[in-house]
Amino acid sequence: MIGRDDAESRPIIFVEDDSALRDATTQALELAGFSVTACSRAAEALAIIESGFPGIVISDIRMAGMDGLQLMTAIRRIDPGLPVVLTTGHGDVDMAVAAMKDGAQDFLTKPYATDHLVSVASRALERRALELENERLQAQVRLGGGGPGPALVGNSARIVQLRRTLEQIAASDVDVLIEGETGTGKGLAAELLHESGARAQRRFVTADCAAMVGSSDGHDLFGRTTPPMSGAIERSSGGTLFLDEVDAMPEPLQLRMLRVLEDRRVRPNDAATSVPVNLRVIAASRHDLGELARTGRFLEPLFHRLNGLRVRMPALRDLREDIPLIFRRFVTEAEREMNRTGPDMDAGTWQHLLGHDWPGNGRELKRFAAGFVIGLGPASGTSGAAEGQKEDGLKQRVARYEALVISEMLRDVRGDAAEAVRRLAIPRKTFYDKLHRHGIDIAAFRKLESDGIS
C-alpha cells in the first residue's frame, strides 16, 4: 500500500492501457520531479490506493474492463477527497466535463503538452496537500478538546502521549483494538479515531457485542434478507464499524466476523451471495483480548485480525493530575444539558475528586459531576444550599473560597505542607488550624505524589 510517508515525493498513480503513452508520460512526470506509479489497468491501481493517500490519480477514461469513470467512483468510496484527473480523446470531452461535475479534479485532452500535464498535476497535488493538512489540524483540535464534540481532556504526560498516538493511528486506515476498564473512554477514543481520519464524512456504526449474547444469527451485525434489514457491517461500508465489548461476542458470530475481515465481504442471513464491504474496524474490549485468545476464551485468528494496532486506555486513578480538568468539562456539559449553574467548589468536593479511586472511571466521574450540578455532594448528599435553604452570607462564602484556595494549593504542591505554607505566606499553626476548620485531609493530596503523578 502507498501511504502518507510518500507525501514529500509528490506521488502520482498514473493509469493508462497504451504502453507507449504510459511509458512516455511516466518519464515526463518523473523528469518534472514527481514520484510515479504506472498501472496498465484500473484494477491494478485500485489495489494500491488507500484512504489518506497523499498524492493524486491520473487515469484514462476508456480502458478495457473497469474504465476511468468506474475507477473514480471506486476511489471516492475509499477516500472522497482523493483528486482524480481524467485523460480523454477529443470525442470524450463531454463525458469528461460531466465527470468533473461528479467530482473529477480536472481533465486532459489527448495529446496533451507536457507543461500542461505538469501544471494540472501540480495544482491537484497542492490542493491535496492543503486538504490533508486541514484534516490534520482539525484532528489536533478535536483530540485536544479545542472544539465541539468528544475530546480527550488533560495535560498529563499519559494523556498527551495518548492524544499523539491516536492522531498517528487516525492517519492510517488499519483496524484498531482498544482495551481498558469499563468507563475509561474506549468508545470516545473510537469516535475520535473516526472523526480525525479520512473516513470522517462517512458513517460511524456501533455494534454492541454484549447484546448479541444468546443470539445465534447476529442479524443486527450481519443483516438479513427476510424481512430485509441491513446489518451494522453493511451500513458501515465506506466508514467505520465499532465493535463494542467484542470480548462478549458469541463464538459462532466470531467465526463469521473472521470471514468478513479476511474477505472484506459479508453475507446477510438467508442470502445466497455475499456483498463487498469497505470498512475500518475498531474493536473495544474490557479484558486483555490476547490473554482470552491464549486461554481459548476468544477466537485466536479473530484476535490477530482485530489487533492491527492496539491502544490501552488508562484508568482514571492513574490520571489524578487530570481529574479536575475532566470534572470541569463534565460539569460544563451537565450545566448546559440541565440549563442551570452548579454550586461553587468546596473542600469536600476537592478531597473527593483527588482522594477517591474512581473504580467506575470516567463514567462514575460524569455521574458525580451531574450530581454536583444539582447540589449533591460526595458524602452528605448535598453541596451548597439545599432547595429553599437560606443563601450563604459573606462569612460562609469567604470560608468556602478560603477552603478552595487551600485545596488548590495542596493539589499544586502534592500535599507538601511546608511548600504550601511558604506559598500561602501564612504561619504554620494558622495553616493547620484552617485545615482542621475546613475538614481538609492533606493525605489525599499527598497520594498524588505517592502515585508518581508528575
Distances (CA, A) of 381 to 200, 231, 349: 42, 45, 11
Amino acid identity, position 65 = G
Q: What is the pLDDT of residues 374-412, one digit of tens each?
A: 777 665 333 333 333 344 567 766 776 777 678 778 877
Output 294 or 433, whichever has higher pLDDT: 294
Portions of the chain given CATH number 3.40.50.2300: 4-136
Assign domain 4-136 to its CATH architecture.
3-Layer(aba) Sandwich (3.40)
| Cis? peptide before 252, omega within 30° of 0 | no
Q: What φ, ψ does residue 417 adopt, rounded to 5°?
A: -60, -45
Superfamily designation of domain 145-314: P-loop containing nucleotide triphosphate hydrolases (3.40.50.300)
Residue 298 vs residue 106, higher pLDDT: 298
Q: What are 321-369's pLDDT values in tens digits?
A: 889 889 988 888 888 877 778 888 777 788 888 888 999 999 899 888 8
The CATH 3.40.50.300 domain(s) of the chain lie at 145-314
Q: Please tell me the pTM assigned to this model.
A: 0.56
Q: What percent of the chain has pLDDT over 70?
A: 86
Question: What confidence tens digit (pLDDT) does each residue in 250-288 have?
Answer: 999 999 999 999 999 999 998 889 999 999 999 999 999
CA distance 303 to 258: 9
Distance CA 435, CA 439 (A): 6
Q: Please identify which residue in the block is written with the cell numbers 478531597.
A: 351
Q: Which of 92-101, 290-299, 315-324 tops mean pLDDT? A: 290-299
Over the stretch 74-93, which tens digit does the pLDDT of each residue have?
A: 998 888 889 999 998 766 67
